[in-house]
Amino acid sequence: MTMRAQSMTYSLPRTVICVEVDAVKEVTYAGPYAAYAQELLGLTVPQADQYNAYIKEIRMSAKVEADLQATRYTAPAKVSGDLLRMSSLGLVSFGSAAEGESARWSFAADAPGADFNGKGITSQTMTIQKTEYKDVKTDTSVVRVAFQKDVTVGKSLEQKAQEAARMILRAREEKFKITIGDTDATFSGEALGAAIRELTRVEQEYLVLFTGYTVSTPQTQSFEVIPVKGTDSYDVFRLSDSEGLLAAEAKGGKPYYMDVIPSKMGAVEGEDAAKASKGQAGIVYRIPSVCSVTLGTGTTPLIDTRIPVYQMGVESLYITK
């Protein structure tokens, strides 16, 4: 509230529509042996990293703050009691400070890159025999003699995939044999369950090298829309498969829109507030318009509700004596 000589100033309220979105961003990392999954295991799996984002929940609410961009009004100090009473009804906002809840922004850390280290227990190298030659000196001549030498070399990607596939098939075979009792050892009770669980763990550890795995990252972000007379549609936010929730002005992603359609209001008897305020002591206040508010993408509405919006309504005058 700003005090002047025998008068004070006030602002009218405006409505801010708040949208809070919970989304999930998913990254599916292709396995390093994905190219061999069909050939070795008969599986159809992603051959490259894939991205997907979807909305889990949307919440919409409204808050009221002082409309400091609109005209500020002066009222005689003697009507302070009326002003205070009208403020309690949400019709007038005082002072120079905007009021209302602050927006909440929350971002989860991005998922780390693909990590297949430690998956599977096959070695990265193998030992092969290589034929080499050496010269052997005899009493009469020098003879070239062949000999075998063990050499350690790195395995190719295909060799690693073949070895992993053999481990998967072996684990499945052993599980089947244990289940039907076709083994040298006898398993029963907890021992049977433990053996099956261990073979399943080994199978899954190797299988992920072919199928890859998915990491889900939750996101929560708040957006605000301040309706303006003469504008019915607003860009609220975007949803990108690779980046998740984005601001409305960002590039890429699927846009989500809000439509705010004010209802028709009955005519005010007599002069409007602007004219009536001339030469008359009184308090200007806003009567909100109950607006139809929809939020969605394309032609698909996700939320359809009604919200009173002050700045889309009309201004009137409370006459003081």
Per-residue pLDDT tens listing for the chain (321 residues): 444 455 667 788 889 999 999 999 999 999 999 999 999 989 899 999 999 999 999 999 998 888 888 778 776 666 655 565 556 444 554 443 344 444 444 455 566 667 766 666 566 655 666 777 677 777 777 777 666 666 666 677 788 888 888 888 888 888 888 877 777 666 667 777 888 888 888 888 889 999 999 999 999 999 999 999 999 999 999 999 989 999 999 988 999 999 999 988 766 555 455 555 455 667 788 888 899 999 998 777 888 899 999 999 888 777 666
Residues 6+ away with beta carbon under 8 Å from 19: 58, 59, 60, 222, 223, 224, 225, 236, 237, 258, 295
Q: For position 126, what pLDDT does the model report?
A: 57
The position carrying tokens 């607006």 is 291
Query: Hey, what are 214's tokens?
Result: 């998915």
Tokens of 38: 């069909």
Closest by CA position to 12, among listed 91, 75, 88, 79:
91
Burial of residue 243, with CB atoms counted within 10 A of its CB: 0-12 exposed, 13-18 middle, 19 or more buried: middle
In the block, residue with structure tokens 């003081």: 320
The residues, ordered by sequence, that sit 6+ positions from 15 with a Cβ below 8 Å of its Cβ are: 62, 63, 64, 226, 227, 288, 307, 308, 309, 310, 311, 312
pTM of the model: 0.69
**Mapping DSSP to helix (H, G, I), strand (E, B) and coil, where does residue 7 land?**
strand
The predicted pLDDT at position 191 comes to 79
The pLDDT value given to residue 226: 94
Q: What one-character-per-residue DSSP string does 52-113 give?
A: EEEEEEEEEEEEEEE-TTS--EEEEGGGHHHHHHHHHTTS-EESSS--SPPP-EE-PPPPPP
Which pLDDT belongs to residue 123? 63
Classify the C-alpha dihedral 173-175-179-184 as positive or negative. positive
> What CA–CA distance (Å, rounded) separates 91 from 11?
10
SS3 50: strand
Q: Which conformational region is residue 189 in: left (phi greater than 0), alpha (psi within -120 to 50 degrees), or beta?
A: left
CA dihedral 27, 33, 37, 38 (to 10 degrees): 100
Tokens of 52: 């997907």
pLDDT score recorded for residue 65? 84
Please give the pLDDT value at position 12: 85
Q: How far apart are CA 102 and CA 223, in angstroms?
A: 11
Within 8 A by CB and 6+ apart from 185, the residues are: none
- Residue 61 Cα distances to 17, 39, 223, 225, 306, angstroms: 6, 54, 11, 11, 11
pLDDT tens digits for range 229-246: 999 999 999 999 989 999
User: What pLDDT was estimated at residue 81?
Assistant: 59
